[in-house]
Amino acid sequence: MYFAASSTPARRKLAAFVAASLGLTLATAFSSAYAVPTPDVLPATQHASVQDESIRPFAPVHVPQVAIDDLRRRIAATQWPEKETVADSSQGVQLETMQKLARYWATDYDWRKAEAALNALPQFVTTIDGVDIHFIHVRSKNPNALPLIINHGWPGSVLEQVKLIGPLTDPVAYGGKADDSFDVVIPSMPGYGFSGKPTTTGWGPEHMARAWAELMRRLGYQHYVAQGGDWGAFVVDQMGLQAPPGLLGIHTNMPATVPADIDEALRIGAPAPAGMSADEKRAYGQLAQTFKQVDYARLMGSRPQTLYGIDDSPVGLAAWLLDHNDANAQPAAAVAAALNRNASATGELTRDEVLDNITLYWLTNTGVSASRLYWEYKGGFFNAKGVKVPVAVSVFPGEQYQAPRSWTEKAYPHLIYYHQAEKGGHFAAWEQPTIFAQELRAAFRSLR
């Protein structure tokens, strides 16, 4: 990882854009004299007063070419380490993988395509508890559409869910029925993407759950449903626990189902308890393996501020976002596979989509701010939380563990849907958007 201390003009940071009265203006205000190394060229938004509940348009994204040139120059200037001393990825993302990706990123990758895709969507910003929340909001043409708020996770962004918007808001055009239409709201979590970066502690999943309920209230929705995977699953579980007025139910593709005694056995590294079914034994083994490969989470959970390198080196950031300490197993198998996929007719994840997400982190300078979510959260991960609202669960074969139905029914006593999908992994909406959209249609059908 290259830590540059130079303050020459070529190393200097672009200044933040000027925020306009009706939202974020990503325009022309920058200066080569601002001598901080990392180009935070897409800062959060204007800071409206805490009491302001207005919904403000989010101006089109346009990164100055000088910022793209600076990114490419930094990639080219990477100080590479030597090759790993093993034949696999057990020491981390392999040198050959990173150098191949870096060559493409610095030469042929086109951020402007991601910009155009984002700018084609209706985007807004509102201030909740002093933090500006950016969100995509696409209404269906069907007046009876069910409002749905979708929460991304780490190392993701709203870009994970954009492929869902068409199939959910206009299901007829994608082989579905008009009765399955959704209005879709996709917020950027605080510290991620175009949302503001909290300057104080307290923005964990519990706070986000309250913020999303407030966002849906401001949008005028009297009834709605919520969906989440990865950190989004934690947020929607918290929404379920808080049960705000208007929340009809939640859908999760990373359910928290582990019974208390099983969770304790996992915590202490004990063998699988006796009397478990085959599905439960499989889940126990998967969870035991998962807890051995979360070094990245432990570091962000304890020392997120120490990760200065990911805000200064594009290659360092990319490697950090790609590495889940899983030796090409889950949860990042689909991401690793995507690095060798240039296009997909069926919506599977591609190299450009992976780089779109990484580049968004770079341009918004949110590597460290996004990591703080791990520090904020002090609760359990896969243990049952006691959610009583209606819950729908989709189990994907490539998830970190396949939640058994037996555990799921106990964890979510008002279970309205449980289905094992045919394909997809931890980033299912990103990896298999068609299947994921079908899951959401079926999951919430009984709540319409």
Beta bridge partners of 247: 224
Q: Is 263 annotated as catalytic? A: no
Beta bridge partners of 391: 250, 415
The model's pLDDT over 92-132, given as tens digits with 9 standing for 90+, comes to: 899 999 999 999 999 999 999 999 999 999 999 999 999 99
Amino acid identity, residue 251?
Answer: H
- Residue with the bigger pLDDT between 321 and 44: it is 321
Give the pLDDT of residue 334: 83
Among 335, 347, 333, CA closest to 438: 347
CB 327 within 8 A of CB 335: no
The answer as to CATH 3.40.50.1820 being correct for domain 1-448 is yes
CA distances from 184 to 28, 145, 149, 309, 342 (A): 31, 9, 6, 35, 28
Q: Is 223 annotated as catalytic? A: no
Catalytic residue among 132, 230, 311, 326: 230
The model's pLDDT over 19-69, given as tens digits with 9 standing for 90+, comes to: 333 333 333 322 222 223 333 455 444 444 446 999 999 999 999 999 999
Catalytic residue among 374, 412, 417, 418: 374
Mean per-residue pLDDT over the chain, rounded = 88
Share of the chain above pLDDT 70, in %: 87
Q: Is 230 annotated as catalytic? A: yes
Among 424, 428, 416, 352, CA closest to 117: 352
Return all residues near 8 (Cβ < 8 A) that are at least 6 apart. Answer: none
The model's pLDDT over 412-446, given as tens digits with 9 standing for 90+, comes to: 999 999 999 999 999 999 999 999 999 999 999 99
Q: DSSP 3-state assignment of 330? A: coil
Mean per-residue pLDDT, 289-305: 91
The model's pLDDT over 249-265, given as tens digits with 9 standing for 90+, comes to: 999 999 999 999 999 99
The model's pLDDT over 143-186, given as tens digits with 9 standing for 90+, comes to: 999 999 999 999 999 999 999 999 999 999 999 999 999 999 99
248 band by pLDDT with thresholds 50, 70 and 90: very high
Number of CB atoms found within 10 A of residue 387's CB: 25
Return all residues near 57 (Cβ < 8 A) that are at least 6 apart. Answer: 22, 23, 123, 124, 125
329 band by pLDDT with thresholds 50, 70 and 90: low
Return all residues near 239 (Cβ < 8 A) that are at least 6 apart. Answer: 209, 212, 213, 226, 247, 250
Residue burial 116-150, b: 16+ Cβ < 10 Å; e: rest: eebeeeebbbbbbeebbbbbbbbbbebeebbbbbb
Give the pLDDT of residue 325: 63
246 band by pLDDT with thresholds 50, 70 and 90: very high
Answer whether residue 355 shows pLDDT above 70. yes
330 band by pLDDT with thresholds 50, 70 and 90: low
The model's pLDDT over 377-414, given as tens digits with 9 standing for 90+, comes to: 999 999 999 999 999 999 999 998 999 999 999 999 99
326 band by pLDDT with thresholds 50, 70 and 90: low
